[in-house]
Structure 1
């Protein structure tokens, strides 16, 4: 079935004026009729949305009004969906307390609260104290999101950060545990992360530059103005981002820099603030590495020496250069080492093979290894870290598409586990009512693409069920087959929910990622379409009963498959979609452009990259043909995928397509890349996407 328009609608679709802007690069002239939707003052708009050009604001608001007019008849359905999803949330939920010295630190929500509370209790239990109340801090703010919170080594202070625009400019403050008051310290325009000095008199942070790039590491001494802060490190390559974190032992602040192909790390001894950062290994094009420390020995996760799926090496702290790296866990093709956690006596590595993760534990004294295994056909597994280094306790989480999240404490010495928390679904959830399974799709070139599937056990596979097919496929990010309470609102209405583990992600190893980037990017799109066809062949659904869903780079995927395989879909939901790929990659003033060139190619310098991107960029390949119904969702203050990308895309679609649709744009005028802030406000946006999906397959009254 195709979506039926609201019979009460009289409002016509907005028509964006065509104001042709042309440019020529590598001998090719490109005409962009909607370039005017990019505010020349966009950097200031990120800081203050009220300065947005009036013509652009009026256009975006007219699109919002049009979307509301078409989806307005689903308002009751949206309220029902929100109520269902909220009913599955334990409103007074709390994390498992994480011990650190005399205390155990936790995060929790109050009943009805939108934002987290940060607190602690004595290590062995007892009365709790709250240091940060997110609900209170968010009062009178249209947007509020914590960037992070970290207690000082002496447990007296809490450094915390927040973003109140949605533009990911985080301000850092310091709160005293003794009286709950913020000190005068205020550090602005940061990425939100903090690493304390050993004596808790100072902290390190990363400042964003005028192009919203994290390029500088600074040291702030408590009680002094930000103007007196000391620059510790500055990255000179505009294509590299810089971040900081604590090392495994807590001895160092790690300065981690890199792009999507190369990395480099430095160590700052937090007990010696005047010592310069210590380089681990000089950057080499294509070599990535990350460092964990244990006394005088470093453990390094790297792809050096052709280890496509990564390996683990060791090096002495006083001579950590590449020449001194020695293999500890050699490279094994097809077994992707995702991450490592280092403890005083154990090394933990998280691996993935054929889209299934595993935790492997190595006793560093004996060299013996064992794994933690699970039996479901598709599941998600992750280590959770902690504050303490000299411990045998490993905390990890497990879930599947049918099994709610479980948190375990695992004793690495005795090999025993304790369930510390199981996600509670207040409205009820019986995993036995659902099925998690996998199939494999064969792509255009013979590649075998895993598809994780969730459906009700009583589903009849006769090819008539509606199906939501989710995908991402970029930056080496894998899509875990984890539990989501929200998606049950679709599944309980008869939907099949499927995740396509396409190339461009690392679901089947780092080589799987390399086969879906740059000149191989179209493999991602063809894989996704092949997954849709495989689901049809397996009689889970049929053509035009599928709704595609993806966000950010997954939104680019949605735009590309709409152009290339639109006939498979009843509808497409593209959240903050990266669809104007060519123009964005040609603009080196945008926050993410230079660091993204290794992922997509540099069309400024390379004619081949220009032609490759031009050949698939969703905005540039909109054609005069039939398109499925499309909902694009944007955020005005989004620094990652700027608001004008989906705005231009929808304008061109509406002006060019010959049939199908409708195509809708909804811009959140008070949020950025992550959408609405607050755990319940976010449900409003999920409900809009789900109501659209139901509407696209003729089930909006369900």
Structure 2
């Protein structure tokens, strides 16, 4: 049944799926002709397109109406586990402790501060969630800012060095173009300065008279850095740096010492930095090292042996060998090329980050597919002994938290796992103590001992061992496989792009799956960052299919080892992980009972071929350039989910997108679902849900996010017959 209007219709009181009209449009590249019948859905302002999306929403609502009670139950479960009136752990900056509060019934956070007791006060105050502190001041109430808006996101929240000014930005549409505003924290006055169309961040000059920010071009690329003097109109702002090359984005930050400002220019594989004294905001930035294709580096300032130094983390060639997992080098402030290697390259360790302090360095790196944190003391003559912080966990994710003070005796550090709620410590390097300052509160009867997590390994088609993380209730009967054990329902999550690692983290919502007997697993496929730079390189461009076949190998391993079965297994991934879901749906639909995907990148070739689309050119370093290279075009076409939909049975699919998404346009899942609905065989459920006032990050407000999570979790449980559990 074809519906030119795109509307769902009622037959015998039952809402039936809208069938999108077909409007053939040829796409011709490298002699290949592809006829796209649903490209008309790209016209966002066309009432017929909106009517079609709303019809799909109506169909999804009708198909999932029976899950209403379960959604409400899961929402209440999530809500009941979270301490709604709570506050963050205070962080010292200057003469104040900064923290945020949440209140029961309020969607957004409230940002506050209170004075420190004295210069030696490094123990965060014990705050009461329902009581104010002596001297507490509300700096910004996001609930007030969000009033009257369907969507609200806070971007920048930047305090001047003196602590007297706040720069903050807000997005009320979901398109990630923010409005930057300023507040005098001494008087409470909101300044008339207003800067529109900016990116998320903002960086102060040392004296607080200037702010540096960046703006987007028409393709949503951050291409220009500006300097704004407080009290002047936006039209008087000075362009500090403009990057014309569409492969690159720009930004601005400061060294941890706050002594220098840094401009950075970066593509997916190349970086360039410029430096300027923060007390000379009208000065000229100096180039640290010129960009060279394939060389990435980051810069921080340190004082070593009484001398100012640049610490440079880079992946350039060292002693004739490419340092693909990065090295740490030291160089004189005014001679960045005169480098001494401090931490050499290792094949099994990926250096990720560095923060400098007056007497120590905080080093982040990855080993054995786990993110680790170490502290390196600075001595009067140089460097002490690097010490890795031991958290005593088999599977975990760790990292340094907010440490804004250049001189501080402790470092804030956090650790979590699939079964360990976030714990935040102050680490004391002098004594190797971990002082527990805050632990994520999980209300109810949650007991980590009721759950187990472990690492498993699958073998990919080319013999590569692929890690799988698995978590379940300890009493999940047959959950670990074995002779005579019954296969369990299982959700397998994957991403596998941009070198982004899927590290262990605790989720309150996930408990609603685990407590109903579902196993949760993560396939750490190539293209991600779990196993170092080589792991990423083997899952991008002309090796991208390894991402998909790795995921299939993990799924087959979980079936072959008896943990689950195809009619018991679900898959989930979003954004670039949605590309993975679409590819897997085409490759091995028989392995899954259902697939959930958020903002899925399922029409990659159409997008990457269009230079006018947001972010396209910057993506060529990740996927290749199909415009210029026929081999890349043919390779991408061979795996693009939309173009490879076939007349065969697919698992149940729920695709969720946002109308205002600027990263993965809503049209990709809309076209994909339309083509699936017209092409696939079988009667498995196929649903598209479009958030009509959201962007790439989905709905805003914590209660709305919990409701969205409940919607997804209920659908997953229903897909494996656990809706009544």
Alignment TM class, shorter chain as reference: over 0.9
CA distance in 1, matches of 2:158, 2:222: 20
What does residue range 143-154 of structure 1 map to in structure 2 within 5 Å?
A: 143-154=151-162
Corresponding residue for residue 113 of structure 1 = 106
Task: Assess if the C-alpha contact under 8 Å between 1:219 and 1:232 holds in 2.
Answer: yes
From 355, 365, 377, the equivalent of 1:363 is: 377
Q: 1:9 to 1:582 in 2, by over 3 A?
A: farther
Match of 1:558 among 558, 567, 581: 581
| 1:33-84 CA distance string (max 9 Å, x none) | 1111112xx6xxxxxxxxx220110000000000111011101111111111
CA distance in 1, matches of 2:512, 2:612: 41
Counterpart of 2:6 in structure 1 is none
- Aligned-pair CA distance for 1:326: 2.0
The aligned counterpart of 2:417 is: 400
Q: How does 1:231-250 map to 2 (within 5 A)?
A: 231-250=239-258
Shift of 1:380: 1.0
Pair 239,463 (structure 1): closer, same or farther in 2 beyond 3 Å: farther
| Structure 2 contact 329–343 (Cα < 8 Å) conserved | yes
SS, match of residue 186 in structure 1: strand
Give the whole-Å Cα distance in 1 for the aligned partners of 2:410 and 2:224. Answer: 35
Shift of the alpha carbon at 1:300? 1.1
What SS does the corresponding residue of 1:324 show, helix, strand or coil?
coil
User: Is the alpha carbon distance of 1:7 and 1:545 closer, same or farther for their aligned partners in structure 2, counting shifts above 3 Å?
Assistant: farther
SS in 2 for 1:659: coil
Structure-2 separation of matches of 1:79 and 1:254: 48
CA distance in 2, matches of 1:660, 1:526: 26
Stretch of structure 1 that moved more, 108-117 or 275-284: 108-117
For residues 532 and 692 of structure 1, what CA distance do their matches in structure 2 show?
20
Kept after mapping to 1: 8 A contact 2:391/2:415: no
* Superposition CA RMSD, Å: 1.5
Check conservation: 2:487, 2:568, Cα contact below 8 A. Answer: yes
CA offset digits 1:264-294 (Å, max 9, x no partner)? 1112322112211111111111110111112
Other structure's SS at 2:676 match: helix
Contact 1:100–1:123, Cα closer than 8 Å, also in 2:
no
Secondary structure of 2:34's counterpart equals strand
Conservation of the 8 A alpha-carbon contact between 1:78 and 1:684: yes
Q: SS in structure 1 opposite 2:137?
A: strand
Which of the numbers 326, 333, 339 marks the counterpart of 1:310? 326
- Say if 1:576 and 1:673, in contact at 8 Å, map to a contact too: yes
Larger RCO: 1 or 2 (CA < 8 Å, sep 6+): 1
CA distance in 2, matches of 1:586, 1:248: 40
Secondary structure in 1 matching 2:567: coil
Query: Contact (CA 8 Å) 2:575, 2:664: kept in 1 or not?
Result: yes
Does structure 2 conserve the Cα–Cα contact (< 8 Å) formed by 1:220 and 1:229?
Answer: yes
Flag structure 1 segments of 5+ consecutive residues without an equivalent: 1-5, 43-51
Mapped to 1, the partners of 2:162 and 2:708 lie a distance apart of 41
Q: Which one of the candidate residues 72, 79, 82 is aligned to 2:72? A: 79
1:391 maps onto 2:408 in alignment: yes
Single out whichever of 609-618 and 243-252 deviates more from structure 2.
Answer: 243-252
Whether 1:198 aligns to 2:196 is no
Which of 650, 655, 661 is residue 638 of structure 1 equivalent to?
A: 661
Aligned-partner Cα distance in 1 for 2:253–2:65: 46
Question: Would the aligned equivalents of 2:91 and 2:402 in 1 still touch at CA under 8 Å?
Answer: no
Note if 1:521 corresponds to 2:514.
no
The match for 2:122 is: none
Deviation of 1:455 after TM superposition, in Å, equals: 0.4
One of 330, 336, 339 as aligned partner of 1:325: 339
How far is 1:177 from its partner? 1.1
For 1:349-498, what aligned pairs fall within 5 Å after superposition?
A: 349-365=363-379, 366-461=383-478, 462-498=485-521
Q: Deviations over 1:138-182 (max 9, x none)?
A: 111100010020111111111001100001011110011123231
Q: Does 2:655 correspond to 1:661?
A: no
TM-score, normalised by the number of residues in structure 2: 0.93
Task: Measure, in 2, the Cα distance between the counterparts of 1:641 and 1:9.
Answer: 35
- Assess if the C-alpha contact under 8 Å between 1:354 and 1:509 holds in 2: no
Deviation, structure 1 residue 259 = 1.3
Q: Distance in 2 between matches of 1:155 and 1:519?
A: 50
Take 1:606 and 1:79, find their aligned partners in 2: how far apart are those partners? 51
2:533 paired with 1:530? no
Cα distance in 2 for partners of 1:507, 1:138 equals: 37
Structure 2: distance between partners of 1:268 and 1:499: 43
TM-score by length of 1: 0.96
**Partners of 2:461 and 2:708 in 1: how far apart?**
35
- Structure 2 runs not aligned, ≥5 long: 1-9, 118-124, 126-133, 479-484
Runs of at least 4 residues off by over 6 Å: 6-9
Which whole-Å CA distance do the structure 1 matches of 2:291 and 2:103 have between them? 46
